């Protein structure tokens, strides 16, 4: 018997009327987000919901939200996000590093890791995925927005 999936929790479109963030997102450098999409891979519903609301309020386009490595890869292949916010500990047998390695190796999609598990051994294992950054949990939305802007700048410089 398989475990019930929580993926359905994220299938609905989330359109906040008011973004409730833990901090102010103002004061940053204005950057265009046209044509750039972000896939959120996070199995904690409240963290994913907060990230969705904060990133939408900051003007970013979202490709969706995944709760497992398998769902992340599948969704990334169908939506082709510019970058992926990738938690390391996910639902299922595979973790976020496995998913990030597959996305980078097979499809050239880069990640920013968002995790509470950023010890040296984890970072060494993730190095082959060429992460655009690391955001340590708990994080603020402004920290996440800054990391994404920096990631987009890195991608532009490399193309």
Write the CATH number for 112: 3.40.50.2300
Task: Examine residue 126 and state whether it is found in any structural domain, yes or no.
Answer: yes
> CA angle 7-12-129, nearest 5°?
50
Q: Is residue 117 part of a domain?
A: yes
pLDDT tens-digit map of 94-152? 999 999 999 999 999 999 999 887 789 999 999 999 999 999 999 999 999 999 999 99
Asked whether residue 28 is domain-assigned, the answer is no
In a domain, 14, yes or no: no
Asked whether residue 109 is domain-assigned, the answer is yes
Nearest-angstrom CA–CA distance, 37 and 154: 15
- Whether 54 maps to a domain, the answer reads yes
Q: pTM for this one? A: 0.80
Domain assignment present for 3: no
**Structural domain total, the chain:** 1
Query: Is 55 part of a structural domain of the chain?
Result: yes
Question: Domain range holding 88?
Answer: 35-158
């Amino acid at each position: 018997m398989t475990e019930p999936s929580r993926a359905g929790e994220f299938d609905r479109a989330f359109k906040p009327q008011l973004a409730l963030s833990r901090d102010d997102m103002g004061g940053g450098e204005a950057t265009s987000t046209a044509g750039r999409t972000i896939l959120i891979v996070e199995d904690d519903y409240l963290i994913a919901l907060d990230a969705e609301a904060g990133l939408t309020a900051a003007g970013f386009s979202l490709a969706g939200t995944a709760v497992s490595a398998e769902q992340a890869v599948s969704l990334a292949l169908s939506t082709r996000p510019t970058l992926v916010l990738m938690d390391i500990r996910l639902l299922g047998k595979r973790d976020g590093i496995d998913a990030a390695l597959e996305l980078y190796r097979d499809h050239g999609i880069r990640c920013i890791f968002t995790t509470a598990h950023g010890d040296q051994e984890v970072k060494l294992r993730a190095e082959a995925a060429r992460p655009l950054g690391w955001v340590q949990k708990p994080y603020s939305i402004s920290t996440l927005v800054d990391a994404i802007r920096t990631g987009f700048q890195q991608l532009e410089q490399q193309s």
